[in-house]
Structure 1
Amino acid sequence: MPLPWLRILVASTAAMALAGPPAGATAAPPDEDAVRASVHTAGRVKDAGDVLQYSWPGVYFEGRFRGTGIGVVLDDPAADYDVQIDGTTVATLVTPGRTTHWINGLRDGVHTVRLVKRNDTPWSTSSFGGFVAAPGGAVLTRPAARSRQIEFIGDSLTVGYGNLSTSRDCTGEQLKRTTNSDVSYGALTARRLRADYQINAYSGLGMVRNYNGGTPEVNYRSFYDRALLNVPGDVWQNPGTWRPQLVVVHLGTNDFSTPVNPGEPWTDESLAAAYRSAYSGFLQKLRTRYGPGTTILAVGAGPFAGHVQQVVEERTGAGDRRVRYWRLDDTGLDFLGCHWHYSARDDRLLADRLTSFITDLPIRW
């Protein structure tokens, strides 16, 4: 019997998801101007003519339409998606490939539609070609952007790695199907604060050292500037609309979670020193990019908590009044996600704690 997360989900009271278009509908993607005019997204996307391309997890597209059905134009052989109508998930698309996926049988009227990329596929480029209305309907102007913006920077714990799993033991396929960035602690926190958000997280990478010392020629900072992660030298062009009032940095688990192996260019002391130096430089990069008004929240946990706290204290002492330290409290977490990662329950608990902490910060929303 297939696992629940592998099924295409159908909301029986709201809509019926169909593999093909309704009679008389066109599956042709909308033109470039229509895509831009009808979709709201806060993610790092790259305009490629008649499609928007992207790589990071949790990228979402929001639209409005009138009618009884909507088509979702995608070209993605690697990632999974949720489609939400009027706030309810009506379909989960598993590696949809090149398709227009239709949601039909809706009550005739004005609806909202949201498409969200569930998992991380840094080796692949995803393409979204917009929303297409069923015959007799129309795609309306895009929803307004939210005034609040939060950027989450991290690794697999921020991605939502295997958070829907019911077992810590996962195959590669199970990991892909049970990762859902849309219910990660970052996405939940942002929605609770009514903020647009980016989840710029990359599983397995650290600030200076990756998990178990792997791929030492790169680290998280090698990819941070990109929109398309598998394109060397790519640089995301901020359209000028991304000005986060808060940036949350949660990096360090991969740097320190495994012992230094023979042959690695580190001792415990030199790794700690390199981590603190790189962390300080990365915070300065964020400060230069987003300006003095943005609050930077540095997350500390486990063996790297003290290093993060030291970097924050040094920056605060040097006059940066909008960098803060948050000691992640993992009390009560079950780590039942794949390979001892946060479960969906853990993500909810962390979102509660992080939301409460952020609410007390003097952020200039």
Structure 2
Amino acid sequence: MPLPWVRTLVASAASMLLLGTASVATAAPDRDGVRASVHTAGRVQDAGDVLRYSWPGVYFEGRVRGTGVGIVLDDPAADYDVQVDGTTVATLVTPGKTTHWVTGLRDGVHTVRLVKRNDTPWSTSAFGGFVAAPGGAVLSRPAARGRQIEFVGDSLTAGYGNLSDSRDCDGEQLRRTTNADVSYGALTARRLKADYQLNAYSGLGMVRNYGGGSPEVNYRTFYDRALLNVPGDVWQNPGTWRPQLVVVYLGTNDFSTPVGPGEPWTDESLAAAYRSAYGAFLEKLRTRYGPRTTLLAVGTGPFAGHVEQVVRERTAAGDRRVRHWPLDTTGLDHTGCHWHYSAHDHRLLADRLTAFITDLPIRW
């Protein structure tokens, strides 16, 4: 399945798709510190008046009283969905620096959720919080969920082009039809009533990227970062992110294209390097999150056997909380951009993954 190497995409001109909403000049939140009044499980860098981030699917949840809510953003590259009381009321396309207002709400208490739809690893996004319309107030943030799931992956996990009605997509169509919020990971987490991170980067593999591109980096180069375009950045876990489950789905880009002339691999050396790096990555996760966290390694297609071997070796070495999920592609139509999973496929995979996780002895 062709998975094109996506390293940088040209950001589109700022525009908005509005549903009964309005955009006005940037306003500042009327409180000290954004993090104090919003709930997020994503990898964010806390700068006090703004939260900065890069990964797809990062979401912010808040509560307001009144007839309107403003969403303070500074983002020239990404798209967002705005949800009020569980309903999507606007899609913001590369909003830039603005406060986007949702007005005309009934006077009362409302939940608001902002979610980053696509992956923009070349850019840093900034969220300045929620603000209430005149006469209203921002209330205490929603409580964190007791369950936490981290998803590690590539474009298939990011929801690459999953809303497209065509496999043949240009850059503009790809950006507008990628929605991490309806990816298999986000759907699975919501079905399990869990907070989640989607730490997904299109085009990257465990040791080799799509088509052998950019061999100086791979997924592991970026895993520790909050800001993907800042070399050496390291996400500072505030101490609240302790996932009971980490799902790793990396390998499609390593093996989906044949090793080309000039690459430092043979088929055999690539497979060996992949298994070695995979085992070390699982060990890193085990060290980071401790013995109670379940590690779920996803295998399918040409790398399924390698993943299964890594899991067997870790199990034999005494790791009792590592599992292998053989991803079943039966019934998938791959009608997203460039033969990626469609929204239908993501729902089907979420069904299967949710059922599989439900049967695991996870200590929620």
Q: Tell me the TM-score normalized by structure 1.
A: 0.95
Q: Is the 8 A contact 2:334 2:342 kept in 1?
A: yes
Q: Is the 8 A contact 1:32 1:49 kept in 2?
A: no
The answer for the alignment partner of 1:341 in structure 2 is 340
The answer for the alignment partner of 1:205 in structure 2 is 204
> Is 1:195 paired with 2:201?
no
Distance 1:267-1:32 versus aligned 2 partners, 3 A rule: farther
The answer for the alignment partner of 1:24 in structure 2 is none
Rounded to whole Å, the distance in 1 between the matches of 2:24 and 2:282 is 48
1:7 offset after TM fit, Å? 6.8
1:146-161 paired onto structure 2 within 5 Å: 146-161=145-160
Q: What does the per-residue CA deviation read over 1:279-317, in whole Å, with 9 as the maximum and x for residues that have no partner?
A: 000000000000000000000010000000000000001
Secondary structure, aligned partner of 2:143: coil
Mean alpha-carbon deviation: is it higher for 33-42 or for 242-251? 33-42
1:8-157 paired onto structure 2 within 5 Å: 8-10=17-19, 16-20=20-24, 27-30=26-29, 33-157=32-156
1:29 offset after TM fit, Å? 1.5
Q: Is the 8 A contact 2:296 2:325 kept in 1?
A: yes
Secondary structure, aligned partner of 1:114: strand
1:49 offset after TM fit, Å? 2.9
> What code does the residue aligned with 2:22 have?
L
1:8 offset after TM fit, Å? 1.6
1:20 offset after TM fit, Å? 2.5
> What code does the residue aligned with 1:134 have?
A
* Pairwise CA RMSD: 1.1
1:65 offset after TM fit, Å? 0.4
Rounded to whole Å, the distance in 2 between the matches of 1:161 and 1:245 is 26
1:34 offset after TM fit, Å? 4.1
Q: What does the per-residue CA deviation read over 1:203-256, in whole Å, with 9 as the maximum and x for residues that have no partner?
A: 000000000000000000000000000000000000000000000000000000
> What code does the residue aligned with 2:142 have?
P
Distance 1:110-1:131 versus aligned 2 partners, 3 A rule: same
Q: Which runs of 4 or more aligned residues in structure 1 lie more than 3 Å from their structure 2 counterparts after TM superposition?
A: none
Q: Is the 8 A contact 2:203 2:210 kept in 1?
A: yes
Q: Is the 8 A contact 1:150 1:196 kept in 2?
A: yes
Secondary structure, aligned partner of 1:83: strand
Rounded to whole Å, the distance in 1 between the matches of 2:276 and 2:37 is 43
The answer for the alignment partner of 1:13 in structure 2 is none
1:28 offset after TM fit, Å? 2.4
Distance 1:76-1:7 versus aligned 2 partners, 3 A rule: closer
Q: Tell me the TM-score normalized by structure 2.
A: 0.95
Rounded to whole Å, the distance in 1 between the matches of 2:46 and 2:241 is 15
Number of residue equivalences:
350
Rounded to whole Å, the distance in 1 between the matches of 2:23 and 2:221 is 39
Secondary structure, aligned partner of 1:19: strand
1:106 offset after TM fit, Å? 0.5
The answer for the alignment partner of 1:351 in structure 2 is 350
1:32 offset after TM fit, Å? 6.8
1:33 offset after TM fit, Å? 2.8
